Amino acid sequence: MDAPREKEHLLSLKVMRLTKPSFVLSCPVICEQQDIFSRGSDGLQDLLPKLGSVQGLPAVALGELLTLPQNFGSIYLGETFSCYVSVHNDSSQIVKDILVKTDLQTSSQRLALSGSGATPRPELEPEGCIDEVIQHEVKELGTHILVCAVNYNPPSGDSMYFRKFFKFQVLKPLDVKTKFYSTEDNLVHSDEVYLEAQIQNITQSPMCIEKVSLEPAPEYTVTELNLQPDDSDSSIFGAITYVNPMDTRQYLYRLQAKPQQGSERGTFTKGVSSIGKLDIVWKTNLGERGRLQTSPLQRVSPGCGDIKLVVLQIPDSITLQSSFKFLCKLTSCCERTMDLKLNLQKAGTGLSWMGISGKQLGKLGPGDSLQIELSMLSTIPGLQSISGLRIIDQNLKRTYEHDDIAQIFVHHAQTAA
């Protein structure tokens, strides 16, 4: 690192990233008293005791001695970049008016970390140091360049200036995936929605996720469902407090719309709406802390299309070669009136429709619903899925396909008895 231009300077600048220290790991090799390289004392002892080992526990690898960070390591979004900047007077002369300035250049902006607007230090004696610990919470991914600039006046001559650059990459620590679930019974005007957040640790080390909270948008209230129902203090994740690299944890939240003026219950807006943000705090090696907030989570209200079909009643199981009935409810979700016809197509293996295809269901206005009862015959044992229901809107000549709408278990008569 001794660049030729640096040698002309009286000062030198050194930078070290202060990741957390770690405990010294030894490699114990234990012998008993009768072994040949035993040193004769009682009990267990190490072949070659080192200072790092724990007193009384020679067989334990993780010691009490702290060791300074050995390399730059990786830095992740949301962590705090901390580094030691030391300017040292290598010369035998007194140097005057020293100003150390550090900036951080990201792909989008330049941040002043220290030294801007500060008054220069009047003088630095030989072998003297100017030390500084810089801390900055990284809020951007990608390349960062730490720029350290030193201005000073040597005893003779003009003021001198040099800069050093230190480049590092900020990586993504987490992968967050979200999924919304609407309650089954009331899809059209549901006032509650469940949010599942999958948080995956994509760093290299285990991560202790301390907090994952949902900050809802103003029109919603949120209930966290990640604590044991009986004991509100313990998390559902049990004794394992950390997430290994590439492992994922799921968090669940219930969102309720606040009642709007003039109506008893709130509703979720149709289409795309913002629900809120996730706030995540984690710790890794020896308390290295990280914090992230997601962008607003967008919810698209469930695309049930123009018609929603819900199965109201169906038997769990049925004997082979017998018929059964089930009840469906059709609800219109669109603004126009539809003229509906029911077609029954191939019902899938193992089941056959009983009844007429092409039956007129009549007109269905916006928000209206109607119930239909259908019959089927079981032909093959096993878990069978009902498919092949087609609803046709005769006004627009549009067909709505409904497959895999329900399942039924078909068994032999003997097993039932």
Partner 1 sequence: MNHSGFIASFHHVTRIAAHYYARLLSGNKLLEFRLRNLFGCSSLLEITKMEEQEETLISIDSTPPEVDTSSGQLNNLSQPKPFDTSLFDQPSQQTETIDLIGADPPSAGVQDSTGEVTEEKDAEEFVKESSDPTKATDPKESQMQNQFTDENLTNVIIDTQSEVEEINLDSDSVVEKTSPSDRGDQEIDNSELKLTAKNNLNTEELLEGSTPLPEIVDELAKDTPDRRPVNVPKLPSVTTFHKGNTPWDDEDPFLSAISNSEADRRQDAWLPSESTLNVLQSRVNLQGTDYASRPDLTMPGISFDEAQVDTLKELLYKYHIEDDVTKRKRLTLDQVTRDLDGLKRLLNDGCLRSAVQLTGLLLTSVGQGKGQSGMPSQNTAESIQIWFTRLALLVKLRQFSTAELESQPFRDFDKPDLYYQYYPALYPGRKGSMVPFSFRVLVAEIPQFVSQHQQSMTRLYALLATCQKIVSNLSQGLDEYGEKSGVSEEYIKASLILWKNRVNRVQYSIGNCLLAMKDYYQSIKVFQSLSKTDSLNWCQIESLVGRIYLQLGDLKSAQETFTGIEKMSEADDQSAKIQVLINKGFLRMAQNMYTDAHIQFSEVIKLDPGNFTAVNNISVCLLYMGKLKSALNLLESLVNDEPDKYLDESILFNLCTLYELESSKSANKKQQLLGMAAKRKGDGFNVSCLKLP
179 contacts partner 1 (rule: CB under 8 A): yes
Q: How far is the CB of 12 from partner 1 (least distance, A)?
A: 4
Considering only residues 341 to 370 of the shown chain, the ones binding partner 1 according to CB under 8 A are none
Considering only residues 57 to 116 of the shown chain, the ones binding partner 1 according to CB under 8 A are 57, 59-72, 77, 84, 86, 88, 90, 107-108
Q: How far is the CB of 129 from partner 1 (least distance, A)?
A: 6
Q: How far is the CB of 367 from partner 1 (least distance, A)?
A: 28
52 contacts partner 1 (rule: CB under 8 A): yes
- Whose CA is closest to 350, among 407, 414, 272? 407
Residues in Cβ contact with 258 at an 8 Å cutoff, skipping those fewer than 6 apart: 219, 220, 221, 266
Which tokens sit at 96? 């005057």
121 contacts partner 1 (rule: CB under 8 A): no
Give CA–CA dist 92/89, Å, rounded: 8
CA 224 to each of CA 140, 194, 218: distance values in angstroms, whole numbers, following the listed order = 29, 10, 16
Q: How far is the CB of 85 from partner 1 (least distance, A)?
A: 9
**Counting beta carbons within 10 angstroms of the beta carbon of residue 308, is it exposed (0 to 12), middle (13 to 18) or buried (19 or more)?**
middle
149 contacts partner 1 (rule: CB under 8 A): no
12 contacts partner 1 (rule: CB under 8 A): yes
* Number of neighbours of residue 45 by Cβ within 10 angstroms: 21
278 contacts partner 1 (rule: CB under 8 A): yes
Exactly one of 159, 223, 244, 317 binds partner 1 (CB under 8 A); that residue is 244
Minimum CB distance to partner 1 smaller for 29 or for 396: 29
The Cα diameter of the chain in Å comes to: 107
Give CA–CA dist 346/386, Å, rounded: 10
Q: How far is the CB of 338 from partner 1 (least distance, A)?
A: 28
Minimum CB distance to partner 1 smaller for 165 or for 323: 165
55 contacts partner 1 (rule: CB under 8 A): yes
CA 218 to each of CA 65, 179, 180, 195: distance values in angstroms, whole numbers, following the listed order = 50, 20, 18, 16
293 contacts partner 1 (rule: CB under 8 A): yes
